[in-house]
Amino acid sequence: MVKKKFLSIFSFEIAKNNIYSNEDYLDAFLYLTQRQSAHSGSSQMRYIDEHTPNDDSMLYTIKKSSAKSFHNILIAITDKLLELCLKLSIFKRGYGFDVAIDFHERPYHGDKNDEGVVGGKKEPHWVHKFATIDIIERGCTFTIFVLPLNETRLNKNIVDTLITEAKKRIKINCLYADAEFMGAELIDTYLKHRISYVVRAKSGYIYKVEKQHKNSTSFEYIRKRYVGKNPVYTKTTWVINVFEQGDETKKESYYTNLKVTKRNIDCFHLQYDKRWNIEIDYRTNNNFMARTCSKNYTVRAFYFFLCVIMRNVLAYMNLSIKQEEGLWQSGKPIISSYDFVFLVALVPFLEG
């Protein structure tokens, strides 16, 4: 059902005399989400079904399209899944959603001047980089929008695009972000969109600021920057949480424009924990990542987009089962990513 309703949106550029159909290619690519390469995956499938495209045919089919066309397919499938979640009240229409933004890097070992290649967090590490904004609700994450990046440095335009695209689809309640999203320009962007935010502070700032505010757990903090020669001031609230984690005592600091009260002042680290689900989910995303040695950007972007789609389909299935069975309190997924990958790989053979 999921394949017919959502994944059938995938449309590959296939010649009229090609003996393989769009569905044959889709089945073959879905099989690769077991972390297979095109060569090993097509070889295994051909043992069971001879009418399977070989690896050269699969890669040629991807390269005939563009990364942009596959990005548009990703947007169409994501929007359709989100609309169904709203229609079935898995996500409540009209309610505000907590969201999180993050970067995701796919290592690249070719020439740094190749298409789509930017510097990673650790130079001279080269990567293909994507920014995402995700709903983080009900123990699950759902990617609303993916933005492929062609620049190393974060800037307000990236964040502005992510928030703008998200607001076209949902109402944002609060945005959570890691320390790299804490600059004054970025906070101005959050305020421009009139959304609440909680951003983890960089460790380098923590000692410097806390030294000025000894024994304070919350205080107003003003950041100064210059636009040309004119100073611009950004006001925010700095919150410090000290908490036990296992045998350790940890201290975390956050920027926020939420109202800080005696009731919530010690709970910001618990709210922020929801953002870590993105880190965990995109690690399990590797369970869906096809292997490739290709340096072609379209191939590598296609595999990443396919991972995001699979992750969203899995999120939709888990949320719909939880709703049907009344298991909203369960933080664990009903279907694991490992089980889901195995089921997807069986689909073409069960249908046959």
If we measure between CA atoms, which residue out of 241, 296, 228, 294 comes closest to residue 271?
241
Whether 348 has a pLDDT exceeding 60, the answer reads no
DSSP-assigned letter for residue 140: E
User: Would you place residue 223 in the very low, low, confident or very high pLDDT band (cuts 50, 70, 90)?
Assistant: low
For 7, the token pair is 């994944």
pLDDT at residue 273, rounded to an integer: 78
Quick: pLDDT tens for 25-74: 888 888 777 767 777 777 777 777 778 888 888 889 999 999 999 999 99
For 36, the token pair is 């297979």
Say which residue, 142 or 232, is predicted with more confidence: 142
Average pLDDT value for residue range 148-177? 89
Q: Are 195 and 163 in contact (CB under 8 A)?
A: yes
Say which residue, 105 or 221, is predicted with more confidence: 105
Whether 15 has a pLDDT exceeding 90, the answer reads no
Least confident interval from 10-14, 66-70, 193-197: 10-14
Identity of the amino acid at 1: M
User: Would you place residue 351 in the very low, low, confident or very high pLDDT band (cuts 50, 70, 90)?
Assistant: low
Quick: pLDDT tens for 284-317: 556 677 788 888 999 999 989 988 988 888 888 8
How high does pLDDT run on average in the chain?
Answer: 79
Quick: pLDDT tens for 66-114: 999 999 999 999 998 898 888 878 777 778 889 999 888 888 888 888 8
Quick: pLDDT tens for 242-253: 666 667 777 778
User: Would you place residue 259 in the very low, low, confident or very high pLDDT band (cuts 50, 70, 90)?
Assistant: confident
Share of the chain above pLDDT 90, in %: 18
For 351, the token pair is 């249908």
Pairing relationship of beta strands 230-245 and 248-256 according to DSSP bridges: antiparallel
User: Would you place residue 147 in the very low, low, confident or very high pLDDT band (cuts 50, 70, 90)?
Assistant: very high
pLDDT at residue 71, rounded to an integer: 95
Whether 193 has a pLDDT exceeding 90, the answer reads yes
Q: Are 197 and 174 in contact (CB under 8 A)?
A: yes
Tracing tokens 């005696």 back to the chain, one arrives at 262
The SS3 of residue 78 is helix
Q: Are 27 and 348 in contact (CB under 8 A)?
A: yes
Set out the domains of the chain in order of their start, with CATH numbers. 2-351 (3.90.350)
Average pLDDT value for residue range 151-155? 73
pLDDT at residue 263, rounded to an integer: 78
The SS3 of residue 219 is strand
pLDDT at residue 160, rounded to an integer: 94
User: Would you place residue 145 in the very low, low, confident or very high pLDDT band (cuts 50, 70, 90)?
Assistant: very high
Average pLDDT value for residue range 154-165? 90
**Cα angle vertex 101, ends 152, 204, to 5°?**
65
pLDDT at residue 347, rounded to an integer: 58
Residue 197 pairs with which residues in a beta bridge?
175
Average pLDDT value for residue range 268-283? 70
